[in-house]
Chain A
Amino acid sequence: MAKRDDEIKQIPGEESGNGLSRRSFLKIGGLAAAVPVVTGPKIIQVGGEQVEVHGPHAAPITLMVNGKRQTLNVEPRVTLLDALREDLDVTGPKRVCDRGECGACTVLIDGKAVYSCSTLAIDAQGKEIVTIEGLMAGATQLSPVQEAYVQHDASQCGFCTSGFVTATTAFLRDHPNPTHEEMVRNLGGNFCRCGTYGGIREVVQAHAGGKRAATEAAGAVAVKGGF
């Protein structure tokens, strides 16, 4: 849903249903547009209180993605997933169901694994967003969890993998000695069509009991070239 058209004059000027006319929206939008350096939402006075106004048009927001501040123009209805994928070209998180049923879009927000398709981009402001791209141990060095996914061949077509690796990273950080039940509860919201669960289970088991046997050789596999 990227490349939103913030040409306000294209919005037809009929009345909107909530008592506020399109014309008023246009004004608010026009203000935001007239001040291009504004990086947060417009604040207006309503009944003596200061209220943030978002939309309905695209407005600038700032997101902290993989340690980088990024400013982008989005409508308030834009999901974090679409903002990442289409406005910022961060395409690791995948859009599969787009409604919180599959886990392919999982990202970390302030360390917590969430479905980015069910989070609004504007709500992710001021928070630390980490995607699969930000989980690398170095520019070309895989993290231990990523490494374990390779070693246990827990990825086939790979379309669910970004979400799974991200969810596994958060899960193993919070559960250094994971039990089977904990794994099912924490990773049960991610689905894989190729059937890589056997490998994923091994990734988690390799961590159980504090053993990191499978990931000892961390760093041995580097990302090079390009697929």
Chain B
Amino acid sequence: MADKYAWPAENERAYIGKRISRVDGPFKVSGRAKYTYDYNPKGLLYGAVLRSPYPKARIVSIDTSAAEKMPGVKSVHIVQKDPTGKPVTIQFAGDDVVAVAAQTEDQAEDALRAIKIQWEVLPHFVQDEKEPSGPLQGPTVMSQDDLVGALSNQMPQGQLIQQLKTNGVSFKVDDEFIKQMKQFNIPQPIIDAVQQAPYHPEAQNQPQSPYKEVRNETKGDPDSGFKSADVTHEGLYGSTVITHCCMEAHGVVAEWPDPDHLLVHISTQSVSSMPGQIAGGLKAQGVNIDAANIRVEQQNVGGGFGSKFSADRWGVYVPMLSKKAGGAPVKVMLERDAELEVAGARPSHYARVKIAATRDGKITAWDANGWGTGGPGGGAAPPLPYVFDVPNQRNRYISVSTNTGPSRAWRAPQHPQAAVITMGALEDLAAKLNMNPVEFFRKNIEYVTEARRQIYLDELDIADKMMNFSSRWHPRGQGGSGMMRQGLGLSIHTWGGRGHNSNCDFTIHPDGSVDIKMGTQDLGTGTRTAILIVAADTLGIPMEQINLHIGDSSYPTSGGSGGSTTIGGVSSSTRRGAVDARDALFAKVAPALGSTPDKLVARNGKIFVEGDESKALTWKQACAKIGPMPITVQGKNPGPENLTNSGVGGVQMADVSVDTETGIVKVNKMVAVQDCGLVIDLKTAESQVLGALVMGVSYALFEEKIYDPSTGVMLNDNMEFYRLAGLGDIPEMQVHMMTGKGYDERGVIGLAEPPTVSPGAAISNAVANAIGVRVPYLPITPDRVLQALESEEKGARA
């Protein structure tokens, strides 16, 4: 049957595309929704973690004997156990060193104070804002320390083997070393790679540098592109490291009901992948358990934003603590300071950009020298130039290794930073041409991928009207003459968002009840609601009639919730499961209706013959014909017919006021126009975009992970000085979702990332438009605004 699974046409949808309140709303507003943090099983032990006070230090010895004897202490686990017997080197302050479980949280904390560690403090480096100068790192030949570091920092096996193969080692690998690795259960492929690694003794004296070139590419002919231009602009742009600051910290409750089975509650974005990850981590600790014997549960998660895909160190040491305590449940939820230090970081990206155009506003060349940090491992280059693939470009990027908490995916990884750099440079160039940026963006729309050109043009039009942008726009520096200046800014963005792999069990019972089981999770994005909407519209029954079970690794696997892949994945697997289950039901009831299954329709709580509603059975009557065994089918994505798609656009505009005396920026209004294919729930979709705007105001104006260069520790590891935007900081916000013809037939595309990309860039551009000068780095704090104004004045005087 052709198009058997296709999304129902607009007139056949009772729920899809409407404004539906989230189904778990009542539980959340009444405090009844349970999170990992809230799980308090009987006999619970409380964990506490000793963290490194130093950004870089070697652990010479750890003595836990006194701690083990403290009152209430039930188990102690050394997290930083070096797999080869050599001292471990800590790479960032706050890293987990020793974990303790005791009967009370206070006892566990008391025990930490009794642990004796001998440290050898090493020189650290936390500076990422300064443009790199000095020697670059050569290919990393691994020293014994590097190898130990890589193993204890859980560097992915493939990456480690590749690095050993291509770059080699600087130390002699002897039999003793191999024996030690075997004793510590290092996977055989890694041991093989170490044995076969080329030996480069000369590398022992290699100069160490935090800087490593990770991109150096030229496209077209930048030199002649700049020569042929009428106007050239050079500027500095960037965003500092920020953190995820999930309201529910990362954390785990683990218990062994018997020595062969492990039950884990963990705050995660990826329920289905947890058993495998945890089993792998435990294996490295010498504990063998099949992933199949690990059950992971999580009903609700208090935010993830990209930071909760990994089982993390605590996903391994909490089960270890529990095992050592005879299997009793042990809970470790990160304290807020640790959460901010180690459990979430968005890499910084800075760039010095040169960009040029002809007098009529056609971009002719681009040259970017970028750098940034993602923590000890450096970081990858952002996608520059962003969205506009301009002709004649040169892109160079230096990754900076710092002794700071390692980066994690942060809502639309790399895109917000790339937008700040690219949209900033474009807006600065437009200003030099005295051109309204909307017009300038339109002029260069041919550099945008053809598939989305029209989408951007339509969205620019709508946003322009919602903001009255073009009618209110003024050239730079004409935003008023008093101390308050007003300005407008613009940014555009893109994201993929194709649905991930997803499976569900879809069951219709003879009594008419329906249940769905899926190993997915709802991050507050409305996943539960979307699944029920799709199921209800397919079966033609109310959402309330369907029972949904998610958040359990024993249900059919479904992908992690990241990269805006969930909605496409879960809605497609649900649709296929629901269609197959419904068709199986049609086959059972067709004889009773004197018809054939292909002629039946399920709508309004009835099954009837198409075109003759008098030949009908109620849902209950129909299900009674199923017989004693319920209908169960499996819904899958991917599967027959493409129900999900990839590649969205999106336009945002900001209106700001800047107080030039205090440097305080106030966002007055933000407008977001967003496409995401077929919208399942308009209400939660709009909430996603609104939430992204709020998050955008927050990272544009307030958020920054501040490290003290001399001690190398994070200075603002609390919510007073790591300040999120509050109610009083929020502008008027308008959201327009692109729906209907041209959009619905694309299928379902994810939405969480794209609207998070542009706010920072749009606000930065609005500030530049208001005060006539670019504030180079986000967050646009008062001191940065005043500094920019001052340097502008100095420049004018000179």
- The reply to whether A98 and B303 form a contact with Cβ atoms under 8 Å apart is no
Q: Which residues of B contact A101 (CB under 8 A)?
A: 718-720
Q: A2-B104, A75-B106 are in contact. Are A94 and B247 (CB under 8 A)?
A: yes
- The reply to whether A184 and B103 form a contact with Cβ atoms under 8 Å apart is no
- The reply to whether B248 and A227 form a contact with Cβ atoms under 8 Å apart is no
Q: Which residues of A contact B46 (CB under 8 A)?
A: 1, 3
Instruction: Report the minimum CB–CB distance from B690 to chain A (whole Å).
Output: 4
Is B31's CB within 8 Å of the partner chain A? yes
Q: Which residues of B contact A1 (CB under 8 A)?
A: 46, 104-106
- The reply to whether A91 and B106 form a contact with Cβ atoms under 8 Å apart is no
Is A176's CB within 8 Å of the partner chain B? no
Kindly identify, within residues 727 to 783 of chain B, every residue whose CB is under 8 Å from any CB belonging to chain A.
727-728, 730, 733
Q: A77-B106, A194-B524 are in contact. Are A153 and B303 (CB under 8 A)?
A: no
Q: A96-B336, A156-B525 are in contact. Are A195 and B690 (CB under 8 A)?
A: yes
- The reply to whether A157 and B248 form a contact with Cβ atoms under 8 Å apart is yes
Which of B72, B301, B687, B728 lies in contact with A153, CB distance below 8 A? Answer: B687
Which of B24, B71, B524, B727 lies in contact with A197, CB distance below 8 A? Answer: B727
Which of A29-37, A40-48, A132-140 makes up part of the contact surface?
A132-140
Is B57's CB within 8 Å of the partner chain A? no
Q: Which residues of B contact A51 (CB under 8 A)?
A: none
Which of B35-43, B277-285, B363-371, B534-542 makes up part of the contact surface?
B35-43
Instruction: Report the minimum CB–CB distance from B642 to chain A (whole Å).
Output: 29
- The reply to whether B246 and A193 form a contact with Cβ atoms under 8 Å apart is yes
Q: Which residues of A contact B687 (CB under 8 A)?
A: 153, 156, 196, 198-199
- The reply to whether A99 and B724 form a contact with Cβ atoms under 8 Å apart is no
A94→B694 CA distance, assembly (Å)? 22
Is A165's CB within 8 Å of the partner chain B? yes
- The reply to whether A91 and B727 form a contact with Cβ atoms under 8 Å apart is no
Q: A157-B247, A157-B248 are in contact. Are A98 and B335 (CB under 8 A)?
A: yes
Kindly identify, within residues 172 to 199 of chain A, every residue whose CB is under 8 Å from any CB belonging to chain B.
183-184, 187-188, 190-199
A221→B22 CA distance, assembly (Å)? 11
Is A207's CB within 8 Å of the partner chain B? no
Q: A156-B524, A188-B727, A221-B21 are in contact. Are A5 and B305 (CB under 8 A)?
A: no
Instruction: Report the minimum CB–CB distance from B509 to chain A (whole Å).
Output: 16
Q: Which residues of A contact B305 (CB under 8 A)?
A: 193
A208→B51 CA distance, assembly (Å)? 49
- The reply to whether B694 and A223 form a contact with Cβ atoms under 8 Å apart is no
- The reply to whether A155 and B29 form a contact with Cβ atoms under 8 Å apart is yes
Q: Which residues of B contact A165 (CB under 8 A)?
A: 29, 31
Instruction: Report the minimum CB–CB distance from A222 to chain B (whole Å).
Output: 7
- The reply to whether A102 and B719 form a contact with Cβ atoms under 8 Å apart is yes
- The reply to whether A149 and B29 form a contact with Cβ atoms under 8 Å apart is yes
Instruction: Report the minimum CB–CB distance from A164 to chain B (whole Å).
Output: 9
Is B684's CB within 8 Å of the partner chain A? yes
A142→B27 CA distance, assembly (Å)? 10
Which of A5, A142, A191, A227 lies in contact with B300, CB distance below 8 A? Answer: A227
A194→B35 CA distance, assembly (Å)? 16
Instruction: Report the minimum CB–CB distance from A76 to chain B (whole Å).
Output: 12
Which of B23, B35, B71, B336 lies in contact with A97, CB distance below 8 A? Answer: B336
Q: A99-B718, A158-B302 are in contact. Are A150 and B29 (CB under 8 A)?
A: yes
Instruction: Report the minimum CB–CB distance from B725 to chain A (whole Å).
Output: 8
Is A11's CB within 8 Å of the partner chain B? yes
Kindly identify, within residues 5 to 60 of chain B, every residue whose CB is under 8 Å from any CB belonging to chain A.
21-35, 37-38, 40, 44, 46
Is A146's CB within 8 Å of the partner chain B? yes
Is B245's CB within 8 Å of the partner chain A? yes
Residue of B nearest to A75 (CB): B106
Instruction: Report the minimum CB–CB distance from B47 to chain A (whole Å).
Output: 12
- The reply to whether A3 and B247 form a contact with Cβ atoms under 8 Å apart is no
Residues 321-360 of B, flagged 1 when their CB comes within 8 A of A and 0 if not, give: 0000000000001011000000000000000000000000
Is A60's CB within 8 Å of the partner chain B? no
A222→B25 CA distance, assembly (Å)? 10
A4→B686 CA distance, assembly (Å)? 46
A150→B759 CA distance, assembly (Å)? 26
Is A50's CB within 8 Å of the partner chain B? no
Q: A158-B302, A227-B528 are in contact. Are A92 and B31 (CB under 8 A)?
A: yes
Q: Which residues of A contact B106 (CB under 8 A)?
A: 1, 4, 75, 77
Is A15's CB within 8 Å of the partner chain B? no
- The reply to whether B247 and A183 form a contact with Cβ atoms under 8 Å apart is no
- The reply to whether A157 and B724 form a contact with Cβ atoms under 8 Å apart is no
- The reply to whether B733 and A198 form a contact with Cβ atoms under 8 Å apart is yes
A191→B727 CA distance, assembly (Å)? 8
Task: In the A-B complex, list the 7 residue pairs whose CB atoms are closest, starting with the nearest.
Answer: A92-B31, A195-B694, A159-B302, A157-B524, A158-B28, A195-B691, A132-B31
* 12 sampled A-B residue pairs with Cβ under 8 A: A1-B46, A1-B104, A5-B103, A91-B38, A92-B30, A94-B247, A158-B29, A158-B300, A161-B28, A193-B245, A199-B690, A223-B26
